[in-house]
Amino acid sequence: MKTLWFYLAFLALPTFALADSNAQLEKQRQTFQFALKALETNQISLYRQFQERLDGYPLQGYLQYLYLRHRLEQVSTAEIQTFLDQEKDTFYAERLRAFWLERLAKQQRWQDYLAFYQPPQSAERECYQLQALLATGQRKLAFELTPKMWLVPHSQHKACDPVFARWQQAGLLTEELRKQRMMLALRDNQFSIASYLARSGPQAASELAWVERWKTIHNNPISLLKQLPANPPADNSVTLARDEALSREIIVHGLTRLARRSPEQAFEQWQRLRDHYQFSEQEQIEVRRAIGTWAALNRDDRALIYFGNIPGGEWQARAAIWQQDWRAAIKAIKQMNIDEQASTRWQYWLGRSQAGLGQDEAARETFAAIVGQRDYYSFLASDELAKPYAMNHRPISVSAEVLNDFRQQPAVQRLYEFYQQDMMLEARREGYYQSQHRSDAELQMLATITHEWGWHNQTIALLGKAQYWDALDLRFPVIFDKAMQQAGQNTGLDPSWLLAIARQESAFNPTARSHAGALGLMQLMPDTGRLISKLINRPLKQLDELYHPERNIELGSAYLKRMLDENQRNPVLATAAYNAGPHRINRWLPTEPLDATIWAENIPFNETRHYVQTVMSYAAIFDSQRNQAIKPLSERMPAIKPKTP
């Protein structure tokens, strides 16, 4: 750790001595680090000396933010306002505003609070805004804004409690609003707040009984459903036996809950009850769709029976596809809304269904209509027609002069300096802030620049925000190629497949860490990394090794090879196992040999289904990006063998 004397010696160096050994920008970067360290160690006099040397440096404002952020009790309103004005287009100005508002609320400086308040803000700060309005005599406006904060299904932040109390005292909490919020809470399964609201009404006993019925049927659906139908009591006591709107809604909730546990039981209960209540058409669809969907998720052959003739949506179509009931598949697809039908997913399966019924000419026309796009289903359609894949690469077109001018913008320079200083949390925050405040054309330029820096995951995120999908050089860069090639040689795996896994796992972020704790480029869990490293006789010495791209690729590819060996040597199953975990795949296997596209379409986890299909299509894109023959998906996706007894 450098001492105070080192910093003082640095300050004493004449400018020419520094200029001889470093460019001006490098000198400022070093000065910034010294200033940061002085601030962290509360050496304020030293910090100010370094700060004075940073005129014009893009992160000078961020230093001032840190200074103010940790000294809010000492600074004046004028200092905060000056800073917010000077740094108004930065993520840290918004953060300082939020911290300042919290302090003003704590001190009940309500006039200042309103002066600094700018939406959008958190629920807590919105509640404080209402308090501020009341405290400054703006009662009418405060009460006009109160219902929005009141009508939420969960407990609102306690900062709203004084406002709600005043609002209620003014007689503005109507029975309609109270019941409306109680129903919001019930539909969100927030039974504590629903009970609280029921107790505060004029018919507390009755409403509490209804809440209890809802809670009971939520936790144990069959316990109440099996008691129905029944003759309703002669009095007005709460009962599900009486055919009324709330009873029907609770029964529907119970049936959809039961469907999660046992579609068969839910269907039996529905068959018993449907003619005893005047269920609306929408309620009937909701029940049968829930039962059919949960059956389809379990690959239950009765799923189509459970769906019946209702428009059951995508899982009705998947159930038909799983059973290769092509007429039912066509019917389910044609019952979807126009936008869903028009998607490449369902147009591809419409074509497959037509082909399955021998309608070859219609199938070719359907496939031909979606060939030419760059996605999983278009690639599959191309295979059906024996046509090449369309990659549709359209590089971002911007002149060097325009791009250079853009680079000089303070926000771009600030982002670059965060990145250069390896302050990645701040860099990500700055990148996100810019993604929310720039035009699509500007985001494309910024993505071009971050690609040049080597910050590939940020490039991919920016282009996603701009919805510019066709710059394949930026969205699918062939990076870490030597390590990928070496891993391919060591494991016998296709480097394009490895690149596709890394692209989908981390968007090529070597330092990625998931909420679950997976690390690095190919997102390895620590225990998995340790195990695989021992199996290849190269044990991990430190977990940080997983943040090194070459090491992560070595271990990630070895793990993928293990998944391949344990799952029929089928890349589709191995990819699914890489994402969902190896223990699940056997449960998802068919009882007879099955086309891999049908199996992938019926993966019950949305994330894993998307993951497998995306990785398969990305592998083809990386074949193209690596200037080699594209391996068709029909070859990448061999048939799935049935589970063994």
> Which residues are known catalytic residues?
505
What helix, strand, coil percent values describe the chain, rounded to 5? 70, 0, 30
**Hunting for tokens 């996100």 — which residue is that?**
432
For residue 501, what are the CA distances in angstroms to 229, 458, 496, 564, 600?
53, 18, 9, 13, 16
SS3 sequence of 145-167: HHHHHHCCCCCCCHHHHHHHHHH
Q: What are the start-end ranges of the H helices in 157-309? A: 161-169, 175-187, 191-199, 204-219, 221-225, 245-261, 263-273, 281-297, 303-307
483: tokens are 């390590």
SS3 sequence of 465-484: HHCCCCCHHHHCCCCCHHHH
247 close to 240: Cβ distance less than 8 angstroms: yes
Identify any residues that bridge with 640 across adjacent strands, giving them in sequence order.
594
- Residues 68-94 as b/e (b if ≥16 CB within 10 A, e otherwise) read beeebeeeeeeebeebbeebeebbbbb
Contacts of 489 (CB under 8 A, 6+ apart): none
399: tokens are 């002149």
| Alpha carbons 606 and 301: distance in angstroms, whole number | 20
289: tokens are 């769709």
Query: How many Å from the N-terminal Cα to the C-terminal Cα in the chain?
Result: 63
189: tokens are 């399964």
25 close to 18: Cβ distance less than 8 angstroms: no
**Hunting for tokens 């669809």 — which residue is that?**
285
